[in-house]
């Protein structure tokens, strides 16, 4: 039997949720070492940290920061959806979890973007 | 890796996810608070230095990430790259240790 997926199994919101969760996890994993390195620069004093923070003032870096907050929020809300699906008894309201997860992640991204 | 080990990894992934749900929520609120209250090195370090609760919280956060991220990356490597032999497990164990060590160093740099 041919077990290969075709487009039909992918043309579904739950598949897109899976892809967003996986890609956001990958992006956050790649970002994390840079984030930890930047924070550890505080060991060399305030001035060093200030230098890095000034670098982050560039528009492209600011845009990347907003995307990262959005990805972190999306990974959080998508993960909460998965935990609810796996550990709670099935209820009809769980069908709308996907929309709630997307909405909450977007709200977090906007809150960060507008606070800048 | 045997079925028993895979089960433990599955449990560790979910347990760390539950902990991270709380940690990430607090972290997101902290980020939004920080950008509203000054993002200079001095302003940040003034809020963080000597904050024992912050150090404890972020140490726990780092531990949860060091468990969660390598298990997720391991699945991704298996399914998307076809990397399935024992070397993957050793590599991800090294990633976990490195994330924990560098994470603690970063928390120490900011909070102590």
- The residues near B11 (Cβ < 8 Å, ≥ 6 apart) are none
Whether A39 has a pLDDT exceeding 80, the answer reads: yes
Across the range B13-36, mean pLDDT stands at 93
Residue A14 resides in a domain: no
Q: What is the pLDDT of residue B95?
A: 98
In chain B, where are the structural domains located?
A: 3-111
Check if the beta carbon of residue B71 is closer than 8 Å to that of residue B9: yes
Whether A5 has a pLDDT exceeding 80, the answer reads: no
A76 touches chain B (CB under 8 A): yes
Closest chain A residue by Cα to residue B45: A46
Distance from CA of B74 to the nearest CA of A (A): 11
Interface contact flag, B45 A42, Cβ < 8 Å? yes
Q: What is the pLDDT of residue A3?
A: 59
Distance from CA of A47 to the nearest CA of B (A): 7
Interface contact flag, A28 B69, Cβ < 8 Å? yes
What CATH number corresponds to the domain at position A63? 1.20.1300.10
CB-CB neighbours of A61 under 10 Å: 11
Q: What is the pLDDT of residue B12?
A: 97
Could you name the CATH architecture of B3-111? Up-down Bundle (1.20)
Number of domains in chain A: 1
Across the range A64-73, mean pLDDT stands at 94
Across the range A59-82, mean pLDDT stands at 94
The residue that leads in pLDDT, A2 or B13, is B13
pLDDT digits (tens, 9 = 90+) for B37-82: 877 888 888 889 999 999 999 999 999 999 999 999 999 999 999 9
Distance from CA of A99 to the nearest CA of B (A): 18
The residue that leads in pLDDT, A9 or B30, is B30
Give B17's pLDDT tier (boundaries 50, 70, 90): very high
- The residues near A66 (Cβ < 8 Å, ≥ 6 apart) are A109, A112, A113, A116
Range of the domain at A43: 20-115
Whether B111 has a pLDDT exceeding 90, the answer reads: yes
Give A43's pLDDT tier (boundaries 50, 70, 90): confident
Residue A7 resides in a domain: no
Contacts of B31 in chain A (CB under 8 A): 69, 112
- The residues near B12 (Cβ < 8 Å, ≥ 6 apart) are B67, B71
Give A116's pLDDT tier (boundaries 50, 70, 90): low
A36 touches chain B (CB under 8 A): yes
């Amino acid at each position: 039997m041919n077990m290969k997926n075709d487009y039909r199994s992918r043309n579904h919101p739950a598949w897109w949720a899976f892809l967003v969760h996986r890609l956001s996890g990958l992006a956050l994993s790649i970002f994390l070492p840079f984030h930890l390195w930047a924070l550890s620069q505080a060991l060399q004093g305030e001035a060093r940290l200030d230098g890095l923070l000034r670098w982050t003032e560039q528009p492209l870096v600011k845009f990347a920061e907003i995307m990262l907050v959005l990805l972190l929020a999306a990974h959080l809300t998508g993960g909460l959806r998965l935990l609810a699906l796996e550990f709670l008894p099935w209820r009809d309201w769980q069908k709308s979890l996907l929309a709630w997860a997307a909405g909450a992640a977007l709200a977090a991204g906007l809150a960060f973007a507008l606070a800048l | 890796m045997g079925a028993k080990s895979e089960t433990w990894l599955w449990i560790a992934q979910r347990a760390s996810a539950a902990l991270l749900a709380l940690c990430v929520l607090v972290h997101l609120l902290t980020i939004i608070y920080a950008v509203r209250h000054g993002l200079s090195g001095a302003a940040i370090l003034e809020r963080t230095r000597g904050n024992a609760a912050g150090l404890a919280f972020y140490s726990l956060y780092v531990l949860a990430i060091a468990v969660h991220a390598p298990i997720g990356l391991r699945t991704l490597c298996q399914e998307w790259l076809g990397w399935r032999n024992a070397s993957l497990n050793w590599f991800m164990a090294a990633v976990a240790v490195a994330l924990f060590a560098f994470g603690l160093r970063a928390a120490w740099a900011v909070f102590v």
